[in-house]
Structure 1
Amino acid sequence: MTRPLEGKLGIVTGASRGIGAAIAENLASKGCNLVINYTSSSSADLAASVAEQLSKTYGVRAVPVRADVGTPAGAAALIAGAQQHFPPPSEGARFQIDIIVNNAGIARNALLPQVTVEDFEETYRVNVLGPLLVVQAAQPHLPRDRSGRIVNLSSVSSSTGFVTQSVYGGTKAALEAMTRTWARELAENATVNAVNPGPVEGPMYAANTPEFLDGIRGWILHTPLMKAREGVDPDDVVRDANETGGRPAYTKEVAGIVGMLCGEDAGWCTGQVVCANGGMLMH
């Protein structure tokens, strides 16, 4: 059976765990070779495990590459690592990056009086400067026939005004603005879209304070697909949903939407923020 991304090369930042690892698996299942990017030495074993599992399960080539993409040197090292591990198939052939998923991100929530300059600078460095530097470094290697795909991981926080997210929400709004600009500037190379998850299972969501969760409970209650289902969702998810108002997305659900945007059939969609939040935010 032909896989739609067979032989393509994709880069997923922050891919050692969570949404990033799920996105990498979705792309690998469709035949995409992958660079599994991670930042810190503490994630090295996780990234290596993800790469090995995807290679064995899906018969693709997946390699971990450590790089802090929020710095010019890190972004350059990421692209250099991709070139090293995936050289052109023949002499004179052109090295090409087909898919980029800018997933790496951090969140530091604080009420306005507690926001620090360090919080601001670090969050914008990772969430905004990082994707810009990666796309900038990759641009010479993008396809020249509009077949490339770039997907940026935004958040409903760009539009919902959640309390304590002055900085995080601002970074995601900036990322959405860049998405639209890149869709125009890179039109002959790639489509450029963003997806905007709401709550998603994993350590970032689990780290939220009870006060924050209480503040977004109304949003959760009004999100159509966050209603937990007995007999379908795991028992612990149903129990937690009874307290919080609903279940977070499974990482594979967000990954499925990213994967959808990376296929040939999505070639007429660019410059968009695509729902990946179960209906929490409707446009």
Structure 2
Amino acid sequence: MSQPLKGKLAIVSGSSRGIGAAIAENLASKGCNLILNYTTPSSASLASELSDRLNKTYSVSSVPVQADIGTPEGPQAIIAAAKSAFSKADGSLQIDIIINNAGIARNDLIPNVKVDDFTETYRVNVLGPLLLVQAAQPYLPKDRSGRIVNISSVSSSTGFIGQSVYGGSKAAIEAMTRTWSRELAENCTVNAVNPGPVEGPMYASNSEEFLEGIEGWIKHTPLMKAREDLHGKEAVEEAKQWHGRLAKTGEIAGVVGMLCGEEAGWCTGQVVCANGGMLMLH
């Protein structure tokens, strides 16, 4: 099996489950070593099991690290773990890839939004990626071969009802993507991907009112019509519940993995579609 990222090191935040775990597997399958970041003790066993499986399946080295990236201490702990596990004989460390995936969503209508909803969402979704990139910047490649991919959302552009806070936080990460692509141009490319509805507990927690509100978007998304010959009978039935086919986590990971390859070196400062065509703004 070709491993185009063999020997490289990636940090994936929020990687114990869902999209983050799928991204970790995609990178591992390409030979990439990994720091698997997770936040809470409840995710420790998932991160450990994922690490063991990736190491055995792909012959890579992955290390689970518990750290809250939205605090000054969290990213420093991640870098310390990377130094301990992946420093070269001369003590140097190179971090080739950063995937800012960790995020939370607190949806509510304007009158019900609480200050804590705002501060906690922006702490995790916006401050966290900034602090992680700050901590990692001294260890980025000097030859433009590095890759940063920020996980955004279609919510940054669609104005879905109830997403004043979450949508705003994702718009912020897209703005930072463009700034970082200039500031870090000699180190790495910096891009974002913007998933739409994706399988998993985060999307399953949405209210029926929210699902009805985005039904029109889904009906006009080219790849969201479920087909039994392509996706199976179960997927067709499931699509009735969600008003359309949800993306598989591996489909998001595939777009992220594409941006991490050498061939993507001429793409930077972009928000790249990972939503089946839900957004066609330009």
TM-score (norm 1): 0.98
**8 Å contact kept, 1:28–1:58:** yes
CA RMSD of aligned residues (A): 0.9
Distance (whole Å) between structure 1 residues aligned to residue 52 and residue 233 of structure 2? 31
Corresponding residue number in structure 2 for 1:182: 180
**8 Å contact kept, 1:227–1:245:** no
CA deviations on 1:178-204 (whole Å, 9 max, x unpaired) are 000000000000000000000000010
Q: Report the Cα offset of residue 84 of structure 1.
A: 1.1
Corresponding residue number in structure 2 for 1:252: 250
1:158-169 correspondence to structure 2 within 5 Å: 158-169=156-167
Q: Amino acid of the residue matched to residue 166 of structure 1? A: S
Q: Amino acid of the residue matched to residue 62 of structure 1? A: S
1:11-160 correspondence to structure 2 within 5 Å: 11-88=11-88, 90-91=89-90, 94-160=92-158
Q: Report the Cα offset of residue 58 of structure 1.
A: 0.5
Q: Amino acid of the residue matched to residue 114 of structure 2? A: T
**8 Å contact kept, 2:235–2:245:** yes
Q: Amino acid of the residue matched to residue 203 of structure 1? A: P
**8 Å contact kept, 2:228–2:235:** no
- Equivalent position SS for 1:36: strand
Q: Report the Cα offset of residue 86 of structure 1.
A: 1.1
Q: Amino acid of the residue matched to residue 181 of structure 2? A: A
CA deviations on 1:76-114 (whole Å, 9 max, x unpaired) are 1111111111121x225x210000000000000000000
For structure 1, the 5+ residue unaligned runs are none
Aligned residues with identical type, % of pairs: 72
Q: Report the Cα offset of residue 55 of structure 1.
A: 0.5
Distance (whole Å) between structure 2 residues aligned to residue 24 and residue 2 of structure 1? 17
Tell me which stretches of 4 or more aligned residues in structure 1 moved more than 3 Å.
none
Distance (whole Å) between structure 2 residues aligned to residue 243 and residue 40 of structure 1? 31
**8 Å contact kept, 1:158–1:172:** yes
**8 Å contact kept, 2:14–2:39:** yes
TM-score (norm 2): 0.98
Corresponding pairs, count: 281
